[in-house]
Structure 1
């Protein structure tokens, strides 16, 4: 009510009820400053003030209208109208007569806007443009705003070291309370990104600082980090209580990402505690906030919760539907994470190229100056010098190109199986170990599928090794079709393969293995010049059974693969914790007509389980 009255009085003043033109401009400038002061602490009142000011902006000076354009960009961004905000800022930055302080603020806001629109390449380039202007700005608050914007984007693209550096630079420059709050929140976020363990006191200090100045968004972002920490420490009830206590405050901010984050975390924690009804309700609430933002982590978490609930309730149709949505959202999210990293690398390379180009131009200028002095003495010497430089630059370029090609070729040879063009055993182990470590930190499911071609030695003996190589290539091509970008397929033995599936539980891995088995059995062998059947035996395990140690996953999957061999081949078996090794005595007991007191050719060649970790 009080805010409405203030707006009404302000509008009356701006509409010209004050008799003096100078007084109108003073009121307009005061209203701009008031709106700017509350734009993050009171979003509703800020939006109302900006809209009212826009109705009377013809009364303002050109500089005041530019200031109002900046506030309008803030308003649009807060409402999620990201592309509209970019349009306003581009137009504003195109003005030639804008004050440097306002230009830096607009440029810093454009950095944030590009971050929200996922145009990280443009955002990183805008950081460079903003940084180039900072030396001309005397107002510390504006410099701090630009550094905070840079820290936000660097954290988003995974460059947490740069994010930490900018946040600490703000803290050391004696900022105002608002920027001190933002720097504390960003420093906490960067610390988590760098896998630094922080005490609860650091989180609470940042929360209380932001609360004390009326900044609920930053305070509650830090609360979400604290809740994740508590959940990982085995304190789910404390984490749920913290989030639910402040959910109403978060919803009042109207910030979609933060609302989605709180609801998705509550849903995940409630599911872990067995409260399916509340977990489902909060998951749907998170999805509602994710509409229009398909690449956010809260959306992935919410769909995973709904998928798990449907499985628990034995609703296969709903489980399949939510799993598809989860897989799609997870793929989009992972692709975006990669795109953020690539955006930073791209901008870095472009910056380095520009620096090298400038350096090259400087060198060329020096050469020209030397050439001019030499020309004054002797024209012939000048021509010889130019020729020498051309030969030198050409030689350097040629050998640099050759060296790069050799490096790339060696890298490919070191990582790729020469026959099948998939990961070799060493590279598969490296990639899988990295993925498992990440999954262990995040608490995500990982599954391992191992398979071995049946009677492969018989194929080599009957049709020759060329046909055997043809089989290995076709099997690799067919199985690669089932792998996502985050999965790893590797040839770990002669005819033995393994697939590490990220974000996949035992049931999903078994489905993938069975699809691979069917696809392998359907391979048409006529192009090889011979007609025969290709089959494979599969063993499957998951982190829920075997943990996140690659050696143990491989060992357990191998034991499950033994069972597939023992039970007739061309089948999928899952590790159940009680699988016995395949021995020669069991071969005879099973009545294998090829045994005669010893293992079959393929078992003899690859069994028992070998050291698969190089």
Structure 2
């Protein structure tokens, strides 16, 4: 059953708190006499009055009135929507697939598929999302129900905007203006156009498109969408160096953001507040606001908002000459910036791959169509054997040339994409082959200037037991968790790769043996004290670490690997969950 959104938000105004409580408790529940009408009314309140939407969902679950099969599937769709609104994308995906695969309702299936687009994008499964978007775009003209078509167009516009296709995103948003169903307004079409223009860097704070979207959504009483537009305006104020205007606007919309408790809006508003304080030279307030924003981030989150929060902290600590804090926040900022840029690249690449797949399908359709035309021509021109033969041979030659040409282009594209695949698909770090080649190259360069480096070999203890006991999904979560912890301790110049299975390697450049031992032991202790929590199951695990340095083993990668592996095996044999390194006299030392 969906939970009521919490009112916890770092904005201690009595009026905002009272308003939040009022909107969550002020609606008197009346008994449900018509479940179908009740569900329609509930759906209409999703963004217009989200607290009331949640209350009505709880009411129908609590009273459990007698409903038809179609009404039951409608309720499951609304549950999936609320689950996704609260940020539980995994559970929401399962619920949406259940509706798509088993409801048997064409319109409900289309709406659930459209919502699944946003879910897949939130989980960075862009290739699946764009493939689904293409299927929905192909069938949108066949959708008869106005509300369903409106919903599908919303999500198509958002997906094209995510892919950086600004003009296509605006095109779908404008199509919505011509199919606004009863009970809807121009709020969503205009807000999607403004969002696409903003992401395409085509808006200013005085742009009429943005002001029209704001006025329309406020008049339509769509607070969640209106808040999104206000936050776009606030961001533009900051870009135009008008922090006082941005701060006044953030203060004005804070109670509404508090009431609706939409996580992206809460985080975005907090980061913008930190940026505005900094531009107003209120460094202490800026630092507090940025720290709140960072605390709101979830483990493994990569976003432009967190990048900007760390950037504020970095600049403030640098101004205060706090070297350690400056370096720490800068490393977080670089990691967020790199992750954010990688995410944009992943979206673009996924979009291009999906377009290539569509091109192949189109080619196959055209080939079959041409073959059918050839057969029809053969039957019609039997009395003209010579002409028919010539025509047939000519058309076949055209088809073969077309196939060879397009297959050549497809193969060339596939080879180009393959060259880009240097990262491990599960964890996102360097794969085995690319790590080895990069490490070998870097060591050759390091040897010329007599620098120092250490190779760390990491292996998860009893990983097979995790897979056997909790399943491979939990095993994958443990691997990603391990990578995230290691990345927190590494510098941008260090190399980090997955050698296979549960084995990882790190090459620390310009790092002494003692410093490397300290880093390795911090990684080990952090992993030991930070279990993985997934699906109600908490899994604790540990790692064994072996270390070899260029001071002891030289700059040949193969020897470094042997020495690090030997130390790793000693750590395994002597009880696991420890760091062991070679010493200069050939013995081993434990951290």
TM-score bucket of the superposed structures, by smaller chain: 0.5 to 0.7
Matches within 5 A, 1:424-503: none
Shift of 1:88: 0.9
Counterpart for residue 163 of structure 1: 169
Cα distance, 1:229–1:477 mapped onto 2, change above 3 Å: farther
Cα distance, 1:296–1:402 mapped onto 2, change above 3 Å: closer
**TM-score normalised according to structure 1 size:** 0.59
Which whole-Å CA distance do the structure 1 matches of 2:240 and 2:352 have between them?
35
Counterpart for residue 77 of structure 1: 84
Matches within 5 A, 1:337-486: 337-371=344-378
Counterpart for residue 188 of structure 1: 194
Cα distance, 1:395–1:169 mapped onto 2, change above 3 Å: closer
Counterpart for residue 134 of structure 2: 128
Query: Alignment partner for residue 323 of structure 1, among 330, 336, 352?
Result: 330
Counterpart for residue 137 of structure 1: 143
Q: Is the 8 A contact 1:170 1:179 kept in 2?
A: no
Query: Alignment partner for residue 111 of structure 2, among 98, 101, 105?
Result: 105
Q: Is the 8 A contact 2:314 2:326 kept in 1?
A: yes
Counterpart for residue 94 of structure 1: 101
- Tell which deviates more after alignment, 243-252 or 263-272: 243-252
Shift of 1:377: 8.6
Which whole-Å CA distance do the structure 1 matches of 2:340 and 2:409 have between them?
36
Counterpart for residue 269 of structure 2: 262
Counterpart for residue 572 of structure 2: none
Cα distance, 1:396–1:187 mapped onto 2, change above 3 Å: closer
CA deviation digits over 1:526-575, x for unaligned, max 9?
A: 99xxxxxxxxxxxxxxxxxxxxxxxxxxxxxxxxxxxxxxxxxxxxxxxx
Query: Alignment partner for residue 47 of structure 2, among 40, 47, 52?
Result: 40
Shift of 1:279: 0.8
Which whole-Å CA distance do the structure 1 matches of 2:250 and 2:179 have between them?
33
Cα distance, 1:83–1:388 mapped onto 2, change above 3 Å: same
Is 1:302–2:309 an aligned residue pair? yes
Count of aligned pairs between the two proteins? 420
Alignment partner of 2:197: what SS? helix
Which whole-Å CA distance do the structure 2 matches of 1:177 and 1:154 have between them?
26
Shift of 1:360: 1.0
Counterpart for residue 498 of structure 2: none
Which whole-Å CA distance do the structure 1 matches of 2:412 and 2:90 have between them?
44
Which whole-Å CA distance do the structure 1 matches of 2:100 and 2:395 have between them?
43
Alignment partner of 2:186: what SS? helix
Q: Is the 8 A contact 1:290 1:296 kept in 2?
A: no
Cα distance, 1:267–1:198 mapped onto 2, change above 3 Å: closer
Cα distance, 1:350–1:374 mapped onto 2, change above 3 Å: same
Shift of 1:164: 0.8
Query: Alignment partner for residue 149 of structure 1, among 155, 180, 187?
Result: 155
Shift of 1:34: 2.1
Counterpart for residue 9 of structure 1: 30
Cα distance, 1:101–1:371 mapped onto 2, change above 3 Å: same
- Give unpaired runs (5+ residues) of structure 2: 1-21, 417-440, 450-490, 494-507, 512-549, 557-591
CA deviation digits over 1:330-362, x for unaligned, max 9?
A: 111111011111121111111121111111111
Aligned-pair Cα RMSD in Å: 4.3
Which whole-Å CA distance do the structure 2 matches of 1:132 and 1:405 have between them?
26
Which whole-Å CA distance do the structure 1 matches of 2:326 and 2:24 have between them?
48
Q: Is the 8 A contact 2:49 2:223 kept in 1?
A: no
Which whole-Å CA distance do the structure 2 matches of 1:351 and 1:242 have between them?
45
The higher radius of gyration belongs to 1
Which whole-Å CA distance do the structure 1 matches of 2:403 and 2:355 have between them?
21
**TM-score normalised according to structure 2 size:** 0.61
Q: Is the 8 A contact 1:307 1:323 kept in 2?
A: yes
Q: Is the 8 A contact 1:216 1:249 kept in 2?
A: yes
Which whole-Å CA distance do the structure 2 matches of 1:373 and 1:365 have between them?
13
Shift of 1:63: 0.7
Q: Is the 8 A contact 1:227 1:242 kept in 2?
A: yes
Which whole-Å CA distance do the structure 2 matches of 1:34 and 1:406 have between them?
53
Q: Is the 8 A contact 2:238 2:246 kept in 1?
A: yes
Q: Is the 8 A contact 1:178 1:210 kept in 2?
A: no
Shift of 1:376: 9.5
Shift of 1:230: 2.3
- Give unpaired runs (5+ residues) of structure 1: 15-23, 412-470, 480-507, 528-614
Which whole-Å CA distance do the structure 2 matches of 1:191 and 1:343 have between them?
22
CA deviation digits over 1:56-113, x for unaligned, max 9?
A: 5572101101110111111101111111111111111112631x33222222222222
